[in-house]
Amino acid sequence: MDGVLAIDIGNTHIKLGLYRQGRWINEWRLSTEIRRTADEYHLTMQGLMREAGITHVERVVLASVVPLLTPIFVRVARHVSGSNPLEITPPGYGLAIDYPAEMLGADRFVNALAAWQLMKRPVVVVDVGTTATVDAVADATFLGGAIAPGPHFLVQALAQGTARLPQVMPAIEAWAIGKTTQQAIQAGVGHGFVGMVRALIEETRSVIGATAPIVMTGGWATRIMPYLNLPVLVEPRLTLEGLRYAEEWHRRHQP
């Protein structure tokens, strides 16, 4: 099948998307399980593709922040395409970096690449999920950013670092003043997380431009956007789009 399979291997989830004829025709999400073997992931992928009526893809591009799973998905990619995948590592693909390459996660780089291609002007790139990253891109260059804990890490820290505080499900609720310990934790974590992300965005804009657009992705993006009181563009497929663009750039610039 003509098309490209994009694989984003994250700490919590593995996102996959099949792009063909100018649109994403299939998307899947798997749990990240480092104990699973290449054969297990291949069987899972085979089942998903068979259900979608797909037996083969032409090209695979992947980005991974889980080193133990990278070689496993390289093998999976060979199974479904018959060739080695394009593994994205910074810099390149039309985006320079002012940051140590060995320290820059592929997900942050790919998100920055997608946001730059989308805006073509200084832009704040936000990913809110397991962690929160707020990065700056200007003049086709990744400038750096901030990394902070996500909501689940925050509630875990409270529960594990104290004797009596319970672990609760993080959420952004209507109340700012909790009437129980559980509500107080949710208020502190939920609204505190919003405030942290807002402050990081504002600090980033103070450097690259007060009107720099904000592009946001990640599992918490739609949840925190209404509370930020900032003009935010939510792009759920930002990482997949960055992978697609990198693959297209690579093909155009092959010798």
Same domain, 132 and 226: yes
Contact 39, 29 (CB under 8 A): no
10 is in an annotated binding site: yes
Mean pLDDT of the residues in the chain: 93
8 is in an annotated binding site: yes
Which domain does 73 fall in, by range?
A: 4-87
CATH number of the domain residue 45 falls in: 3.30.420.40
15 is in an annotated binding site: yes
What is the pLDDT, as a whole number, of residue 113?
98
Which DSSP string do the residues of 8-71 spell out, in sequence order?
Answer: EE-SSEEEEEEEETTEEEEEEEEE--TTS-HHHHHHHHHHHHHHTT----SEEEEEES-TTTHH
105 is in an annotated binding site: yes
Same domain, 154 and 174: yes
Same domain, 81 and 140: no
Mean pLDDT value across residues 131-152? 96
Cis peptide bond prior to 91, omega within 30° of 0:
yes
Mean pLDDT value across residues 98-112? 96
Contact 73, 64 (CB under 8 A): yes
pTM for this predicted structure: 0.92
Q: Is residue 50 part of a domain?
A: yes
Give Cβ neighbours of residue 173 (< 8 Å, ≥ 6 apart). Answer: 183, 186, 187, 190
Q: Which residues pair with 29 in a beta bridge?
A: 15
Query: Exactly one of 2, 39, 98, 107 is catalytic; which is it?
Result: 107
Q: Is 139 a catalytic residue?
A: no
Domain count along the chain: 2
